[in-house]
Chain A
Amino acid sequence: MLTCIAVDDEPLALEVIKKYIAKIYFLELKGSFTDPFEARQMLDNTRIDILFLDIQMPDINGIEFSKSISSKNTAVVFTTAFSEYAVEGFNVDAIDYLLKPIEYDRFLKSVYKAKEYVDYLNNQELHEGYLFVKSDYQMVKINLKDILYIEGLDDYIKIYLPHKSVLTLMTLKTIMQKLPSNEFVRVHRSYIAPISKIDHVSKSKIKIGEKEIPIGVSYSDSFFSAMENKLG
């Protein structure tokens, strides 16, 4: 699943984008905003893969807004009704530039473009990425590609690696935001699994090595749609 938000000062313009996003199974809309400053808060606290952003807005224009986003992992797709700022749009590393009214096919095309970009970044992050977690009053480095699965234990999580496991004070929700979303999926209320480590999937459980993890009822839809992505 790719997470996305949409920002536009015109409510009806947002409706179109919301509707299109709902049609695309691998997109998860985290919010839509007429106020860019509310969108900023969401961007600061949540991992957002794609940002659909209007340019002409009364309080801050989209170009200024996108320059101020700290995360380089967010793909920005500009939406505008009038094209005089196209060149400037690409100067801020936008993935694409959509002219309103937007046709669904055109929208889909730019979503795939954004997905390619996000997948590339995530893979890079997966292979070179790491994070430090606090454990036993120490900071422990964890390479993302080594993670077998993560188990949630109330306020703690246990990260399973090939030869050891690391216990740290954190929730599954928090770590999920720090992990590449195309690789790590929530399988169960208490489990996160990297798709590339899954050996076997059945209707109600998955197997990673010898470990069997049940698929939670409320997570099965998003899990199977993420798996669909990898279906050969």
Chain B
Amino acid sequence: MNKKVLHISIHIAAWACFLMLPLVFFPRPKESGYFPEQAFNLYFILINIFYIAFYYFNSAVLIPRVLERKKTLAYTIIILCLLIFVGMFPRLYQYFFGDILKIGSAIRSNRPRNFRPPLLSPGSISIFLLVFIFSTGIKVINQWLQSERRSKQIENEKLNTELSFLKAQINPHFLFNTLNNIYSLAADRSELTAPAVMKLSSIMRYVLTEAKNDLVPLEKEIQFISDYIELQKMRSTNKTLVSFTVAGDITGKQVSPLLFLPFIENAFKYGISTRELSPIDILLETENGTLDFRVKNNKHVNSMLKLSANTGIGIQNARRRLQLLYENQYQLNITDESSTYAIHLNMTL
């Protein structure tokens, strides 16, 4: 409401300034006394009503209804017609109403008796053009600002959805296989059942609640990683040897949630074998505001590659997220050798 009032007052003030223009530009005779009686006559009122009407007609009707619908020719013709009309206005006025300046004055006396305004008055045309430039200019600028704002909004929304999509990638294979393992433990009445359910539920809670936040405490992220690793170990044979080491002071630090998971998932996806020993080494180290994260695993001949076309999408997503969130504050090195695969992520917190 306040905004509307402000908007209207600005318009009124602007028009008041506009109406004062003749005071500045009108050829002022040396003798005083022609103002205001002479300037604010019927002619003045009519032509200014025309200007004001044209201003709003142009911005509210002509631009959105004609120009924006690519009818440029029609728009040009309408503007030209109006321009000719306004150019001819003084002559027409004189024809219908008599002389523009009725009251005898110095100006009149300077003019020849049979003075007639030119067929196209340059004065009224230039004021018309001034109004036209303002009307169209302001409208176009406004619309440009609006569409700019909208496209920025759309981009923001896109980034948000993309981020949440990238974050919420908990692998259904992991979920259902873990549930199946827990089912097996439960069927055996194993003592390991309860801790396994606990770990899965804290993982789920973390993914469903914490992962919505932009930043989470590093300790929570580390707890999540260790729960995840414990569950992966439960699923694996004794050929899989996982080590997870955390070094440095992790308190009071924040990090984007689930940032490290894709690298760990990748290690469990491609780095394990039931035939050969499969060591997976994970290291997370903080020092002076930087974080070092390393994952190293062996590579095995893997036929799963043939099944899923979306190979490496996890790493790709992780890279994209890093790019979005830690633009110039991270370094990701991937060492892909014939028998081992290692990633090293260094980032500023």
Contacts and interface: CB of A to CB of B under 8 A. Distances in A.
B235 A10 contact: yes
A64 B303 contact: yes
Contacts of B101: none
B111 interface: no
Contact of B303 (A19, A35, A61, A85): A61
Interface residues of B, number: 27
A226 interface: no
Interface string A9-30: 1111101100100000000000
A14 to B, nearest CB: 8
Interface stretch (A52-60, A142-150, A168-176, A188-196): A52-60
A105 to B, nearest CB: 14
Interface string B114-137: 000000000000000000000000
A81 interface: yes
B184 A13 contact: yes
A12 B185 contact: yes
Interface stretch (B16-24, B71-79, B271-279): B271-279
A59 B274 contact: yes
B180 A58 contact: no
A111 B272 CA distance: 31
Given A58-B272, A59-B300, A64-B303, A9 B180 contact: no
B307 A59 contact: no
Interface in A24-78: 34-37, 56-61, 63-64
B187 interface: yes
28 contacts: A9-B237, A9-B274, A11-B237, A12-B181, A12-B235, A13-B177, A19-B187, A37-B275, A56-B304, A57-B304, A58-B272, A58-B273, A58-B300, A58-B302, A58-B304, A59-B274, A59-B275, A59-B300, A59-B301, A59-B302, A64-B303, A64-B306, A81-B176, A82-B176, A82-B177, A100-B180, A100-B183, A101-B184
Interface of B: 172-173, 176-177, 179-181, 183-185, 187-188, 234-237, 272-275, 300-304, 306-307
Interface of A: 9-13, 15-16, 19, 34-37, 56-61, 63-64, 81-82, 85, 100-101
Given A58-B304, A100-B176, A101-B180, 5 more contacts: A12-B235, A13-B177, A58-B300, A81-B179, A100-B177
